[in-house]
Amino acid sequence: MSTEGGTKKISTPLSDEVIKGLSAGDRVLITGVVYTARDAAHKRMFEILERGEDMPFDFFGQIVYYAGPSPARPGAAIGSIGPTTSGRMDAYSPALIKIGLKAMIGKGLRNEDVKRAIVSHCGVYMAAIGGAGALISRSVKRARVIAFPELGAEAIRMLDVEDFPAIVAIDSSGRDIYDMAGTD
Amino acid sequence: MREIDAGLLSSAIAGLCVDANYNIAPDIEEAFKRARDTEAGELARRVLDDLLENAAIAAEGLLPLCQDTGMAVVFVEIGQDVHVSGSLKDAINDGVRRGYEYGFLRKSVVADPIDRVNTGDNTPAIIYCDVVPGDSLLVTVAPKGFGSENMSAMSMLKPSEGIEGVKKFVIETVRKAGPNPCPPIVIGVGVGGTADYASLSAKKALLRSVGSANPSAFWDKVERDLLGRINALGIGPAGLGGHTTALAVFISPYPTHIAGLPVAVNIGCHSTRHRSIRL
């Protein structure tokens, strides 16, 4: 991790040491690999987990981004790709964190179960700016569908990102920027 | 009786779908700039700068403002002296289909709310038709993302709860929504009518321009009061804290029954997209 002008630069996969160095409210730029998954993909992964089958990718140390991009134009890596509301994934996230998922990127509130899982497994939840999908797309250099292609926008994509912009929303000690925001 | 070809309507709808998704409305962009100059927090200002940059990137025409290019909500005011040759409904859905394909817009509609298989072309649209005097068609496309739509709410208040009950419900709905609907939001409120009519009024209220005054002095004052109280909640741009939680509150009142006080809140995200054309 390096710090540049108040922004922390981090690379994937994320070690516990890096995660512990992140505090709610920090601005981060992420470089490396991020996997997209939203409602339908989460439901399927959860069902795979319940059946005890192999998951479509190895979660250990990885980042899941709650996003379903707009279609890429020919020659472009990706379309618009901002975050979707994270709360809809709350039912599934603790189980994924338990098998090694380290970080999540989305927007909006998480429930207490997710917060507890983050704290007990040294995880982190980051927020990307909702509705800034065109801007965020510039940090995506390559994208390929790695699971559930039939889900279209909701398929799991492996993204190669450079300086993907996010803000630490819930840090590994459980501090939540949204709790801090509503109290001024 | 004036004839309007369904094909012309379809092409107009396709164009509006693309335009609304790629180009931020001038009133919204101005409101971002004003908020940028008045926000105290560094993070809040940064978010607003990012939203302005996002709009500039989208306007170059290669990417929609947001990946959630919405479910297409279409309002048609049909002049009673107009005849549309062909099927009006088919023409609208055909336009949505073409616009979403041509514009590389995301197809976000599932055929059944429970088994949830994507229709693949973003149809059907949500269509509201109204017959008005005249010989023209006023067509509005308002692509609605569901980050904000999911935070909408309605309640059948008791008449005794009055204006304070209405205000309390609006503020509580916004407070509960918090960061989820992509603030700074636009808030549409329908008051009166029936349960369904209040919900439709709330959605339609989102079509007003940011900065426009309510034609009623009473409701204009209520809008200003609510905007002030909502911006004091501290939710801020992207929900990360600040004084710009909402850009506008728009209230649409309607006569109602002696026994009821329906109130509906429809939340629009910071882009609150809509485009109109008169044919």
Spell out the domain ranges in chain B.
Answer: 2-20+65-144, 147-276
Residue spans of the domains in chain A: they are 2-179
Determine phi and psi for B18, rounding to 5 degrees: -70, -50
**Interface touch A70/B105, C-beta < 8 Å:** yes
What's the ipTM? 0.92
pLDDT recorded at residue B61: 73
Q: Is the dihedral of CA A97, A99, A102, A106 positive or negative?
A: negative
* CB proximity A181 to B under 8 Å: yes
Tell me how close the Cα of B30 comes to any Cα of chain A, in angstroms.
17
* CB proximity B141 to A under 8 Å: no
CATH number of the domain located at residue range(s) A2-179 in this protein: 3.20.130.10
How long, in residues, is chain B? 279
Asked if the model's pLDDT at residue A183 lies above 60, the reply is no
Smallest Cβ distance to A109: which of B43, B57, B178?
Answer: B178
Asked if the model's pLDDT at residue A73 lies above 90, the reply is yes
Tell me how close the Cα of A160 comes to any Cα of chain B, in angstroms.
18
**Residue A30 host element (H or E):** strand A27-36
Q: What is the pLDDT of residues B12-21, one digit of tens each?
A: 999 999 999 9
Asked if the model's pLDDT at residue A184 lies above 50, the reply is no
Tell me the average pLDDT across A62-88. 96
Distance CA B164, CA B158 (A): 11
* CB proximity B63 to A under 8 Å: yes
A42 noted as active-site residue: yes
Q: What is the pLDDT of residues A86-125, one digit of tens each?
A: 999 999 999 999 999 999 999 999 999 999 999 999 999 9
* CB proximity A106 to B under 8 Å: no
- Residue, of A70 and A181, whose pLDDT is higher: A70
3-state secondary structure of B258: coil
pLDDT recorded at residue A175: 96
Chain A residues closer than 8 Å to B47 by CB: 129
Smallest Cβ distance to A79: which of B104, B150, B236?
Answer: B104
Q: A6: pLDDT confidence band, cut at 50, 70 and 90?
A: confident
**Interface touch A71/B235, C-beta < 8 Å:** no
* CB proximity A21 to B under 8 Å: no
Tell me how close the Cα of B193 comes to any Cα of chain A, in angstroms.
32
Pairing of strands A124-127, A103-106: parallel
Which range is least confidently modeled, A46-60, B171-185, B237-251?
A46-60
**Interface touch A134/B68, C-beta < 8 Å:** no
Distance CA B270, CA B33 (A): 13
Mutate to test the interface with A, among B57, B68, B229 (most CBs of A within 10 A): B68
Distance CA B17, CA B272 (A): 13
Asked if the model's pLDDT at residue B208 lies above 90, the reply is yes
Q: What is the pLDDT of residues A142-171, one digit of tens each?
A: 999 999 999 999 999 999 999 999 999 999
Tell me the average pLDDT across B51-62. 93
Is residue B209 packed enough to be buried (19+ CB in 10 Å), middle (13-18) or exposed (0-12)? middle
Structural contact between residues B263 and B166, judged by C-beta atoms closer than 8 angstroms: yes
Smallest Cβ distance to A181: which of B50, B51, B236?
Answer: B236
**Six-digit token pair at B16?**
């509006």
